[in-house]
Amino acid sequence: MNAGYLQKQITYKEKIISQVGKFNRKHKHLSFLGVAYAVLAIFTYNILFYFYRNVKRFTALACIILFFISSSSFSYPGMSLNISFDSDLNIESEDRSDLEEISLVEVAQSDAQLSVAKDIDINVLKEAENQVNPDVSEADHLNPDMQVSIDDILEAESEEAIEVSETTDDNAAILEEDTALASSMDELSFSKDDWKIVLVNKQHPIPDSYSFPLGTINGSMKCDERIIEPLLSMMKAASADGVKLIICSPYRDMDRQTMLFTNKVNRYMDAGMCYMDAYNLASQAVTVPGSSEHQIGLAIDIITDGYSSLDEGFANTSAGKWLLANSYKYGFILRYPKGKETITSIEYEPWHFRYVGVDAATIMAQNDICLEEFWNIYVK
């Protein structure tokens, strides 16, 4: 191929212009199509030729981008610790039974496994995992100064060191009234304004206007003074049957509840979690401040001689069995029963009892329902 032949070679652009010129001369009325074709063909050619001349540069750039994507965390599915029994999970009915069997301990164990990928201190997380109850975390159930038995109360009464005697008549009247109501269950109706059945949970925080008379059980241990007489009657009846009930962690004020919750959040943050993950996980173990029945003085945690752990094992003790069979007679209910976790949003707690009055407690015991179900059916 000589130089003269090369000089005769025309460029792609000139070739396209020549072809379009011939087309336009033959089809003058379609000349706009020829011009459009020429512009599109030349533009496409220039783009492709540009990439062809810089193929090495673009190959290197593509490799860099691919490496960046493959090594960045955002290229993988995020692992969330946002676990909550309040979540509105859209699951099939056959999976719901599995959900109901999940315990807080299992949740914490799962989070401990996830922590490996998030540089979380597993030892700190396991410590928090074992503290599945706010009272457990503060060890009130192991502190003798934070416990009271019927013997302690009777001894204090004999020394006139307790103020229960000032309200005995009023409380006895309440107990007598509740017992009379329980004898005519078919005629009962319940008002949402009745203090005995006030609903407090994650979905129904304590109303700002809610107030109650705070009474002393023994020493520094307090509760709503209106439930002291029924509580003492229940403890005396259990003692007569050879069962010793020991109260721990009754009333807690807002500051203490906030402290318990904040401590739990801080424990998870110390393990390496971000605040939102720590908050969400802590809310499964400690009631969010403003949503605890302990704050309204109607909830009582109970242990017994020889078993001071606040766990499911309490249900197998003589005290746990006696309470399950008899507590309703004195106006108390097992607040978070087994099998109702998806309704109460709280794990099974056989040690946690709540005063609702004899009438409401009897209905719940007879129909095997929890307080949330009672409200849906009976409260107007």
Q: Looking at the annotation, which residues are catalytic?
A: 349
- The whole-angstrom separation of Cα 295 and Cα 310 is 19
Tell me which DSSP letter residue 215 carries: E
- Please, what sign has the CA dihedral across residues 105, 287, 351, 127? positive
| Cβ neighbour number for residue 204 with a 10 Å cutoff | 12
Residue 148 pairs in a beta bridge with 247
Say if CB 299 and CB 353 are below 8 A apart. yes
User: Where are any strands of DSSP class E within 97-244?
Assistant: 147-149, 214-218, 221-224
* 129: nearest Cα among 106, 113, 101: 106
Tell me which DSSP letter residue 245 carries: E
Token pair listed for 90:
């859209």
| Cβ neighbour number for residue 186 with a 10 Å cutoff | 4
- The whole-angstrom separation of Cα 245 and Cα 7 is 110
